[in-house]
């Protein structure tokens, strides 16, 4: 199955994974880490264990932290 992985500041990665593979499998295949990122699968939040379907899109979204309370 062809899976697309989007990460801000990089070209899209396209990886080929076996049916039944999960998000973590695809990220390992693409040699991408998730430190500092939140995961999304087809526009919905997910974890590394989420099972992929054909043509799925994984997005790595930078975590936003900081700020002060007034």
Query: 3-class secondary structure for 49-62?
Result: CCECCCCCEEEEEE
Report yes or no on 67 lying in a domain: no
Residue 54 in domain: yes
Task: Report the DSSP pairing between strands 2-7 and 57-62.
Answer: parallel
Q: Across the chain, what does the average pLDDT equal?
A: 94
Q: Kindly give the residue spans of alpha helices, DSSP state H, lying in the chain.
A: 23-29
pTM: 0.88
Residue 15 lies in a domain: yes
- Give the pLDDT of residue 30: 97
CATH code (residue 40): 3.10.20.30
> pLDDT digit string (tens) for 2-34?
999 999 889 999 999 999 999 999 999 999 999
**Given CA atoms 54, 19, 32, 62 in this order, what sign does their dihedral have?**
positive
Enclosing domain of residue 34: 2-62
Is there a domain that residue 70 lies in? no
The total domain count for the chain is 1
Structural domain contains residue 32: yes
Does pLDDT of 54 surpass 70?
yes
């Amino acid at each position: 199955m062809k899976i697309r992985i989007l990460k801000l500041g990089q070209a899209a990665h396209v990886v080929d994974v076996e049916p039944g593979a999960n998000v973590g499998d695809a990220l390992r295949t693409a040699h991408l880490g998730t430190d500092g990122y939140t995961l999304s699968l087809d526009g919905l939040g997910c974890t590394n264990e989420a099972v992929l379907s054909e043509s799925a899109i994984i997005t790595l979204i930078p975590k936003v932290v900081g700020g002060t309370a007034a």
